[in-house]
A = this chain, B = another copy of it.
Amino acid sequence: MDQQLHFVTVATRDLDAARSFYSGLGWSPALDVPEEIIFYQVAPGLLLGLFRSDKFAQDVGLDAAPGPSGMTLSHNVGSPDEVRRLVARMADAGGTVLKEPRDGSFGGIFHALVRDPNDVVWEIAFNPGWRIDDDGAVIIG
């Protein structure tokens, strides 16, 4: 199995709220099928799919889809100040700050948690022990 993820699909209660939130962050969809699913490209070869909850449930064979839980998505930025600025922008766009920007418990990380309008939890972080090489390889340690 190639070590490659092609889609992350999340059960989404309110697609309109999702669309408004992510467009407020400057994101553009790769494909937007109203009342069904919105795809955003979030890495080379990878789409994040926000799939309306009832259709998600049907697709995976459940009666009802729980909101996303047990999972976080992370976006790294270049400095603690950038963490603060992005978190403020996400709150303006309709996000809920779950953890205000602060030092993490290890590795010099500075981070915050913001919930999107459909319970997707984003970690926004500055992590000095992490970087991406020119070829896309992630260095972490």
Contact = CB atoms under 8 A, between A and B. Distances in A.
A121 B26 CA distance: 30
A42 B9 contact: no
Given A1-B27, A26-B1, A75-B6, A45 B11 contact: no
A74 B7 contact: yes
B1 A123 contact: no
Contacts of A56: 70
A96 to B, nearest CB: 13
Interface in A74-133: 74-76, 86, 89-90, 98-99, 105, 113, 119, 121, 123, 130, 132
Interface residues of A, number: 62
B138 A41 contact: yes
A65 B56 CA distance: 22
Interface of A: 1-11, 25-28, 30-31, 39-48, 53, 56, 59-61, 65-76, 86, 89-90, 98-99, 105, 113, 119, 121, 123, 130, 132, 135-138, 140-141
A-B pairs, top 7 by smallest CB distance, nearest first, are: A44-B136, A7-B74, A68-B70, A5-B42, A11-B70, A1-B25, A43-B43
12 contacts: A3-B26, A5-B74, A7-B76, A9-B74, A42-B46, A43-B136, A44-B45, A44-B132, A46-B138, A47-B140, A60-B98, A68-B70
